Structure 1
Amino acid sequence: MAGIKGLIALAFLGSVGMTFLVLACALPQFNNWWPLFVIVFYILAPFPTIISRRFNDDMGSSNACKELCIFITTGIVISSFGLPILLARSPREQPVIEWGACGLILSGNIVVFLTILGVFMVFDNDEVDYSMW
């Protein structure tokens, strides 16, 4: 039963993070859909870890593969935080997005990436019985 509560909590956190992102785009004072490009980083972030786990299961334990996975994932996460800051700063006269929208995107990034981390922590446990889902 604890697995279902964790799954519900992760689904709630994911929806809160995406709500922050949509609010950054859709509020009348912001009204700009450029921040939705951050979703690409949300989709790409888990792939290196998933590929690394699959590769490590087949070939034995390799620290180089795991370290490369962490490096690529870190680059993706930092890029997702850098994109809204870059959009809010340039060009200086007429920025692409407002700083309020940038703040909403950054808070949404924190929530979504903590949710992705939570998914890996909850489902990494080998004692979880997947047949109950």
Structure 2
Amino acid sequence: MAGIKALISLSFGGAIGLMFLMLGCALPEYNKYWPLFVLFFYILSPIPYYIGRRVVDDTTDAASSACKELAIFLTTGIVVSAFGLPIIFARAQLIQWGACSLVLTGNVIIFATILGFFMVFGTNDDFSWQQW
């Protein structure tokens, strides 16, 4: 039952984050859809971690490996780019600063949801995402 509660709360967080992103795009005073390019970063952010986890054998006693560190570095670059893109759009006056703040709020919520997913379903304990 704990897995279902976690899944429901994570989907609620994802929906709230996407709502802020859509508000930053579709409100009548903003009405520009440039911030939707941030969706690419949402899709790309977990990929290095999945590849790194698949390649690295977790049975070794090493606390870290080069592949794991590279995956963390690439994920960090993707997340920072997701926060930087709306700021660059606002500085270039493609979007307004209010839309930028809504998109940044959505970024915080979405990336917290992705982190929560990996914390809840990333371990191989009693329940995991593999059972779904």
TM over 0.5: yes
- Partner residue in 2 for 1:70: 72
How far did residue 124 of structure 1 move?
Answer: 1.5
Partner in structure 1 of residue 89 of structure 2: 87
**Distance in structure 2 (CA, Å) of the matches to 1:124 and 1:48:** 14
Partner SS state of residue 56, structure 2: helix
Q: What's the CA shift for 1:16? A: 0.3
How many residues of Structure 1 are paired with residues of Structure 2 in the alignment? 129
Gaps of 5+ in 1: none
CA RMSD of aligned residues (A): 1.8
SS at match of 1:57: coil
After superposition, the Cα gap between the structure-2 partners of 1:48 and 1:4, relative to the gap in structure 1 and judged at 3 Å, is same
- In the alignment, residue 48 of structure 2 is paired with which amino acid? P
Q: TM-score, normalised by structure 2?
A: 0.91
Q: Take 1:69 and 1:9, find their aligned partners in 2: how far apart are those partners?
A: 27
Relative distance call for 1:50 and 1:96 in structure 2 (3 A) is same
> Which amino acid letter does the alignment assign opposite residue 114 of structure 2?
I
CA contact (8 A) 2:52 2:68 kept: yes
Q: Contact 2:3–2:127 at 8 Å: present in 1 too?
A: no
Structure 2: state its 5+ residue gaps. Answer: none
Structure-2 residue corresponding to 1:120: 118
Distance 1:84 1:99 in 2: 9
Aligned residue in 1 for 2:48: 48
The CA deviation string for residues 22-61 of structure 1, in whole angstroms up to 9 with x for no partner, is 0100000000000000000000000000000000139956
**Aligned-residue identity in percent:** 58
Distance 2:131 2:40 in 1: 31
* Equivalent residue number for residue 25 of structure 1: 25
Moved over 2 A (4+): 57-62, 128-133
> Match for 1:75: what amino acid?
G
TM, length-normalised to structure 1: 0.91
